[in-house]
Amino acid sequence: MANSKKASGPRATGKCPVFLALEVTMEHKEEWLARTFVELADTLVADFDLIDFLSLLLERCAELLDSAEVGLALAAGRGELRVMASSSERMRALELIEVQNDEGPCRDCLRSGEQVLNQRLDGAENRWPRFAPEAREAGFHMVHALPLRLRSDVIGAMNIFSSEFRELSPQDVNLTQALADVATIGILQERAVKHGTDLAAQLQGALNSRIVIEQAKGIVGERRRVDLDEAFALLRSYARGNRTPLSAVARAIIDHSLAPAELHLALGAQRPARDKRSAS
Amino acid sequence: MSGASVVLMGAEIVPSVAGAYGVSVTVQDLEFTLGEGPASDAYAEGKPVLVDDLELATSRWPLFARALADTGMRSMYAIPLQVGAVKLGVLVLYRDQPGVLENEELSAALLVADLVTNQVLDLQAGAVAESLAWGLEVDDNRAVVHQATGMISAQLDCGIGEALVRLRGHAFAAERPIDEVAADVVTRQLRFEDS
């Protein structure tokens, strides 16, 4: 599907060297911020695909908060938490969010509308009897959760898992909350939300789109004999390389109008990150 | 609500009203005869289409809105019956008065839609459960279930809808939770093959 609009910036050439293995130090933060917001704004207007947009936003967030995995969950029709996107497609963070239906930082955040910051997992067994041990077993030491707010409603939460004991600086908290607010805008941007049930209908559509992506990941993972995180990378790379929404690529895989063999990682595209903990 | 109907739809079938309560079948058939309306949009867009007042919807569905007004129905709420790319049809609720659907009502409607979706899938799987509650587990929506569905679709070289039916059928026959069976598929401990 050709698109006549030619985007400026690294995505146009498929090369993103500046974002590969980037460690965001204090001196680089302003530059990183500027690039990140330009990149997000570019995605917000052209060929907008919600899940691609959220994945990108969460990847940048994880970069900002070194040694972190970040996931975003929405409250679905019955109030249960459903993952919309994450900084990495590894199962760990996704599953840890999914277990939080009854208790956990996301659940606390949804209930109170307040940020949950700098919670050490050792010693959190009373607060989160099921979630805390599972998160620790997965190798995480600290969690945070930030609300996705629309006026007085909290529609979801951004969950940050850190494998270090380092607390977030106030600057990092502000930046991350700003990214969460941008995520909320992205989720709602398709049309003006008149009242509560329009929002709920919008969210149902978003949640269903996520399921389509998961189904497509399964097909690609099986056909190409790759891990599901690599399957996601293939889908996304094809979408960006062909200026097509990620959701359209996923649907095409499922209805067989696009073969998994046709997917490839674009030049310079990022392979799924190796486990940062084992590298340090 | 004044009435409800369940419409089954698909790429290769003509939309059929599988059941209607409190409202005649012809009310929903109108939409498909005219080729436009909230249920068709909900099915196509994959999200609920909530029409508080059909009289104000004449620009969006000029023929349908007018035709439905003659039947006395004033508001209509169409909830798609779907699991990702598996699209079964639409649950439609009607009221003979205009009005906003409250959050609690929409939550209830979404719950009923899930229930109907599960029932249709179970029927297709030949899995007639004794309890309606089976298959309404929140864990049905874990990512691993949808990933496994995709993998099964590739393993059996079948459509995604059939893959989901096969997954559910297997879980039912084995008396295991769907997400556990799905985890086995994703970790490649369980493979679906037609003998």
Query: Which tens digits make up the pLDDT trace of A53-90?
Result: 898 899 889 988 887 899 999 988 777 888 999 988 77
Distance to chain A for B70, nearest Cα, Å: 26
Please judge whether A77 and B106 are an interchain contact, meaning their C-beta atoms are less than 8 angstroms apart.
Answer: yes
Residues B8-36 pLDDT 10s: 888 777 788 877 777 777 778 888 888 88
- Select from B47, B100, B138 the Cβ nearest to the Cβ of A205: B47
CB neighbour burial string for B61-100, b if at least 16 within 10 angstroms, e if fewer: beebbebbeeeebbbbbbbbbbbbbbbbbbbbbbbeeeeb
DSSP summary character for residue A77:
T
Vertex A71, ends A66 and A73: CA angle to 5°?
Answer: 155
- Sign of the Cα pseudo-torsion (A95, A96, A97, A99, in order): positive
Q: Which pair of tokens denotes residue A27?
A: 């001196």
What residue spans define the domains of chain B?
3-99, 138-186
Residue B25: partners with Cβ closer than 8 Å, 6 or more residues away: B5, B17
pLDDT at A190 (0 to 100): 54
pLDDT band at B119 (very low <50, low <70, confident <90, very high): confident
pLDDT at position A185 is 83
Nearest by CB to B84, which of A198, A202, A214?
A214
How does residue A236 score in pLDDT terms, banded at 50, 70 and 90? very high
Going by their DSSP bridges, the two strands A142-150 and A153-162 should be labelled as antiparallel
Contacts of A181 (CB under 8 A, 6+ apart): A148, A149
**Local confidence band at B84 (pLDDT 50, 70, 90 cut-offs):** very high
Is the pLDDT higher at A11 or at B130? Answer: B130
Enter the tokens of residue B122: 């179970």
The structure's pTM equals 0.83
* CB contact at 8 A, B78 and B34: no
Chain B hits for A94, Cβ within 8 Å: 143
Q: H/E element holding A73?
A: strand A68-75
- CB proximity A248 to B under 8 Å: no
Whether B51 and B75 have beta carbons less than 8 Å apart is answered as yes
| Cβ atoms A270, A157 nearer than 8 A | no
- A vs B, Cβ pairs < 8 A, gives 115
Contact A177, A115 (CB under 8 A): yes
Nearest CA in chain B to A79: B107
Q: Note whether A211 contacts B: Cβ–Cβ < 8 A.
A: yes
Q: Tell me how far apart the alpha carbons of residues B18 and A95 are, in angstroms, rounded to a whole number.
A: 37
Contact (CB<8Å) B84/A82: no
- Angstroms from A255 CA to nearest CA on chain B: 8
Please provide the average confidence, as pLDDT, over all residues in chain A. Answer: 81
Checking if the pLDDT of A154 tops 80, the result is: yes
- Amino acid at the residue A144: H
Q: What is the DSSP letter of A190?
A: T
Contact B85 A212 (CB under 8 A): yes
How far apart CA B4 and CA B30 sit, in angstroms, is 15
Q: In what order do the strands lie in the sheet with A153-162?
A: A81-86, A68-75, A153-162, A142-150, A116-120
Query: Which of A49-63, A150-164, B24-38, B83-97 is the least confident region?
Result: B24-38
Rounded CA-CA distance A105/A203 in Å is: 21
pLDDT at A248: 94
Measured CA to CA, the distance from residue B134 to residue B176 in angstroms comes to 11
Q: Find the mean pLDDT for residues A217-241.
A: 94
Q: Which residue has the higher pLDDT, B126 or A210?
A: A210
Distance from CA of A116 to the nearest CA of B (A): 24
pLDDT in tens, A4-56: 333 333 333 333 333 433 455 656 777 777 888 887 777 666 667 888 889 88
Q: Which residue of B has its CA nearest to A80?
A: B138
Which band of pLDDT confidence, cut at 50, 70 and 90, is reported for residue A210? very high
**Interval A266-277 mean pLDDT:** 52
The size of chain A, in residues, is: 280
Alpha carbons B107 and B110: distance in angstroms, whole number: 5
What is the four-CA torsion angle of A155, A38, A28, A12, rounded to 10 degrees? 120
- Chain A residues whose CB is inside 8 A of the B160 CB are 215, 254
Q: Is the dihedral of CA A29, A156, A237, A96 positive or negative?
A: positive
Best residue in B160, B178, B185 to probe A by mutation, most A CBs within 10 Å?
Answer: B160
Helix, strand, coil fractions of chain B, as percent rounded to 5: 50, 20, 30
- Residue A215 clears pLDDT 80, i.e. is over it: yes
- pLDDT: which is higher, A35 or B130: A35
Task: Decide if B191 touches A, using CB distance below 8 A.
Answer: no
At A94 the pLDDT is: 74
| 3-class DSSP assignment, residue B112 | helix
Q: Is the dihedral of CA A179, A181, A187, A190 positive or negative?
A: negative
Check whether A144 has a pLDDT greater than 60: yes
Judged by CB atoms closer than 8 Å, whether chains meet at A251 and B149 is answered as: no
The alpha carbon of residue B72 is apart from the nearest alpha carbon of chain A, in Å, by 24
Domains, chain A, ranges and CATH? 12-275 (3.30.450.40)
pLDDT at residue A238, as a whole number: 95
Give mean pLDDT, residues B49-56: 91
Q: What is the pLDDT of residue A24?
A: 58
Query: CATH topology for B3-99?
Result: Beta-Lactamase (3.30.450)
Answer whether A121's CB lies under 8 Å from A114's CB. no
Q: CA of A114 to nearest chain B CA: how many angstroms apart?
A: 22
Task: Name which of A195, A200, A218 is nearest B147 (Cβ-Cβ).
Answer: A218
- Which candidate from A83, A200, A222 shows the least CB-CB separation from B150? A222
Give contacts of A204 with chain B, Cβ < 8 Å: 47-48, 110
Cβ atoms of A187 and A203 closer than 8 Å: yes
Cβ within 8 Å, pair A228-B186: yes
Q: How far apart are CA A222 and CA B40, in angstroms?
A: 33
Query: How crowded is the C-beta side of A270, counted as CA atoms within 13 Å?
Result: 20
Q: Which of A101, A154, A204, A249 to mutate to test the interface with B (most CBs of B within 10 A)?
A: A204
**CA pair distance A68, B145, nearest whole angstrom:** 26
> Quick one: pLDDT band at residue A267, thresholds 50, 70, 90?
low
- How many angstroms separate the CA of residue A27 from the nearest CA in chain B? 39
Residues 6+ positions from A195 with CB-CB distance below 8 Å = B100
What pLDDT score does B130 carry? 54
Q: Which helix (H) or strand (E) holds B89?
A: strand B86-95
Pairing of strands B13-21, B75-83: unpaired
Q: Chain A within 8 Å of B55 (Cβ-Cβ)?
A: no
**Nearby residues of A275 by Cβ (< 8 Å), 6 or more positions away:** A90
Contact A101 B143 (CB under 8 A): no
**How far apart are the CA of A195 and the nearest CA of chain B, in angstroms?**
9
Q: Nearest CA of chain B to the CA of A230: how many Å?
A: 13
* Cβ separation B154–A208 shorter than 8 A: no
Paired residues of B89 in beta bridges: B8, B81
Query: What is the CATH architecture assignment of B138-186?
Result: Orthogonal Bundle (1.10)
Please give the pLDDT value at position A193: 53
